[in-house]
Structure 1
């Protein structure tokens, strides 16, 4: 009878469930906590507020993962898919944090999540407007736009009185070299948590140099509950909402690729119904993120790679990951320790992580045919060029109306709009089946 069950629906022994589930958490943990750390720095939050943001993010990651793996009603793809905060949203959220504060971010996240939920059944019809030439250009812009964040961290953080000191640069260098050495000399699980190990090594090196302050750890409570709208009621800014909806369209393309890739890995056919359930869960998790002081959620590509690497197909393994993440979100002491990571340590890891995001975009673009269709060169060139305007010339759009500033200061929004319009102009739109095949192959290589 047990043999009749599909491996995806198999419930493994308790010990294995926990260990495999923990491995998934460790593989995505550095990426999961990086986003709240970036946003907290941009918004000028205190260490206690930063810790709260990390807790809220981990807690919501867990809920989103449980929703996706176990599913309820017509929600959740019921595959071993772990959910995490998308890096695609970081650049516009940094702009929102600086201009309108946390409430503007959460307002835009709630609306964008609702839009995602509503359009999920129709998304396969929009998919043809997001071929690899579009998604590759956008992901490249995201990575390059984030690199200044990592570089500034490595130098000690913007505003630091010792900005650029050799001590900061040396610590960041040690973290970066550690990540590279771990990737070179280790395989599998250890290589998958190279960023996490690099951060731990950096923390140990930074302690005797007096760069680490554990102030607030003793005062932080052992258990803390994530309360809705902790930072105040959300504000709904039109520019911010447009920017976040565009981000979610790109995220839906990424999620689709991850769902299709993991479906192939575990030998489960992903049709329109399954895809709709998965994208609806993304939308609901994102809405929930806005309520619970967190962010937009998507399938984490590195964990798709981990499923292929380990061959463990059970969705209940990743459901246990969801339980672990939810539990981790209830411990403010742990989050306060993470919030104590000095900027220089984060910088070494940030340069690697954000560089990998840009490299992932370039890898996606490597699938694009530039010889038979030279128009693709123009799509990439112009969308990347326009997407990087806010990075290279922050005052470029300063004379435009104030309501448009959030959109115009978001490189990913400008790059996305440009790539979508140019692709529609030059190529019209590829067939849905071709796009699905390309998305699955791209996502399958990630991680």
Structure 2
């Protein structure tokens, strides 16, 4: 609900309006709370896949703390690109940037079990993919035709489906524990379910900031239960430095075809998602359409923020949709409010002990949270697919793309005889599904033979065949 004490309705719709500082700062903190968990989770997942994640006693474990630190720092930097702008870079809008989930299925095959050394190829892909993303700025409005809801909904759904397995593994005790007697025990699942049920309760039975921060509060509840059960260790907090600056080329840079192609392909999808977020902010916060300058500026900032992140060992950035909803709820369109939140993220990123405290969260607690988050990604994709006209043509495109993409993701050994580069790209599942959907959508006629008089009913062709018209429900 809009707080009229913040200013007049006209002021609240103005991106350049500065609310009183004592009110602007709490609003900025709200934006940080709404995105905080989603922002740091990708670093935890990628580090865990590489082998230096939660519960690790290896000498590489400080790299997880560094990645958590950089997730906060460069989310703040990328957000400043959007709110303050730098020439054509930035939308000059209250756009909150954060670490993207979309690239995780591309990164996991690149680093799986390879340790910290594999991160150099990831950073090379992030740098090139970010520059490619920025280069889409002038043309993004003209190429959106290639990604209608059929394609974008499929891609977002595939991203969620690729990640839900990670959530279940974490909730059951973590990937390293798989195959052991402790994996999937009652204690692990009990802690994860506390997170899930508290999150659901807050999401549906509270309003305002309590509902928006439901995942964060659910994690805190699960953390309290885990602490009571003796599952929390603070050993890493004491070893973490008090203050540290970002380290250029922390993981080095390596340029591989698989990483570059994968990150550039996903950057294309991420750019279109950002256009949707910019349009949502303009519509929900100011009651108008986004301008071409805002759309291109946001795309520039998205790409540049990602490229700069890669130079310092951070993961790709993108606009955060949950903060779009927060702007619509508060009715405050001021970019300066989000700037306060960005500064808070940057400051937090300069203190490694913040990352070390995050690393004390037991994997089971995080598992409960990511089950909810990744399930919401799948739900968001299905929501996008609801805008599709489900005739036989679109069902064929969706069916083939989903079957091949999900199938290769579930059975990567089916491509074991391919060279490394195409194997990594294809077993992500997302890239082959997106490529097939885009190509088929562009080349197939809008109506297949006989389709004009024979529409799909109930999701199955011929579902009502043989029934008397009077007996059909509808």
Structure 2 length as normaliser, TM-score?
Answer: 0.87
Report deviation, 1:210: 2.3
Residue 135 of structure 1 pairs with residue 152 of structure 2: yes
Residue 379 of structure 1 pairs with residue 400 of structure 2: no
Report what 1:106 is aligned to: 123
Instruction: Verify the 8 A CA contact 2:82 2:301 in the aligned structure 1.
Output: yes
Residue 420 of structure 1 pairs with residue 434 of structure 2: no
Residue 334 of structure 1 pairs with residue 341 of structure 2: no
Q: More deviation in 351-360 or 94-103?
A: 94-103
Report what 1:38 is aligned to: 45
Q: How does 1:43-192 map to 2 (within 5 A)?
A: 43-45=50-52, 46-98=60-112, 101-160=118-177, 161=180, 162-192=182-212
Instruction: Verify the 8 A CA contact 1:57 1:293 in the aligned structure 2.
Output: no
Report what 2:334 is aligned to: 314
Instruction: Verify the 8 A CA contact 1:286 1:296 in the aligned structure 2.
Output: yes
Q: Check 1:381–1:204 CA distance in 2 against 1; reply closer, same or farther (3 A cut).
A: same
Structure 1 spans left out of the alignment, 5+ residues: 429-447
Higher normalized helix content (fraction of residues): 1
Aligned length: 424
Q: Distance in 2 between matches of 1:178 and 1:282?
A: 33
Q: How does 1:396-435 map to 2 (within 5 A)?
A: 396-426=414-444
Report deviation, 1:271: 2.7
Q: What whole-Å deviation, never above 9, does each CA across 1:24-56 have from its counterpart, x for those lacking one? A: 000000100111111111111244221110001
Report what 1:394 is aligned to: 412
| Structure 2 residue matching 1:113: 3-state secondary structure | helix
Q: What whole-Å deviation, never above 9, does each CA across 1:108-153 have from its counterpart, x for those lacking one? A: 0100111111222122221100000000001000001100100100
Residue 294 of structure 1 pairs with residue 314 of structure 2: yes
Q: Distance in 2 between matches of 1:54 and 1:41?
A: 12
| Structure 1 residue matching 2:191: 3-state secondary structure | helix
| Structure 1 residue matching 2:408: 3-state secondary structure | helix
| Structure 2 residue matching 1:169: 3-state secondary structure | helix
| Structure 2 residue matching 1:399: 3-state secondary structure | coil
Q: More deviation in 127-136 or 93-102?
A: 93-102
Instruction: Verify the 8 A CA contact 2:195 2:369 in the aligned structure 1.
Output: yes
Q: Distance in 2 between matches of 1:186 and 1:384?
A: 36
Q: More deviation in 153-162 or 43-52?
A: 43-52
Report what 2:253 is aligned to: 234
Q: Distance in 1 between matches of 2:241 and 2:276?
A: 40
Query: Greater relative contact order (Cα 8 A, min sep 6): structure 1 or 2?
Result: 1
Report deviation, 1:381: 1.5
Q: Check 1:267–1:84 CA distance in 2 against 1; reply closer, same or farther (3 A cut).
A: same
Larger Rg: 2
Instruction: Verify the 8 A CA contact 1:153 1:347 in the aligned structure 2.
Output: yes
Q: Check 1:37–1:427 CA distance in 2 against 1; reply closer, same or farther (3 A cut).
A: farther
Report what 1:439 is aligned to: none
Report deviation, 1:157: 0.8
Q: Check 1:154–1:183 CA distance in 2 against 1; reply closer, same or farther (3 A cut).
A: same
Report what 1:355 is aligned to: 375
Residue 7 of structure 1 pairs with residue 7 of structure 2: no
Report deviation, 1:374: 2.2
Instruction: Verify the 8 A CA contact 1:243 1:410 in the aligned structure 2.
Output: no
Q: Distance in 2 between matches of 1:376 and 1:415?
A: 14
> What RMSD in Å do the two structures reach over aligned CA positions?
1.6
Instruction: Verify the 8 A CA contact 2:278 2:294 in the aligned structure 1.
Output: no
Q: More deviation in 253-262 or 407-416?
A: 407-416
Q: Distance in 1 between matches of 2:392 and 2:275?
A: 27
Q: Distance in 1 between matches of 2:425 and 2:240?
A: 37
Report deviation, 1:295: 1.6
Report deviation, 1:156: 0.4
Q: Distance in 2 between matches of 1:313 and 1:142?
A: 30
Instruction: Verify the 8 A CA contact 1:138 1:384 in the aligned structure 2.
Output: no
Q: More deviation in 408-417 or 283-292?
A: 408-417
Q: Distance in 2 between matches of 1:213 and 1:139?
A: 36
| Structure 1 residue matching 2:139: 3-state secondary structure | helix
Report what 1:202 is aligned to: 222
Report what 1:369 is aligned to: 389
Q: What whole-Å deviation, never above 9, does each CA across 1:320-377 have from its counterpart, x for those lacking one? A: 111011111111111101111111111111111101000100000011111xx32111
| Structure 2 residue matching 1:234: 3-state secondary structure | coil
| Structure 2 residue matching 1:278: 3-state secondary structure | helix
Report deviation, 1:274: 2.2
Q: Distance in 2 between matches of 1:334 and 1:274?
A: 34
Q: More deviation in 383-392 or 281-290?
A: 383-392
Structure 1 length as normaliser, TM-score?
Answer: 0.92
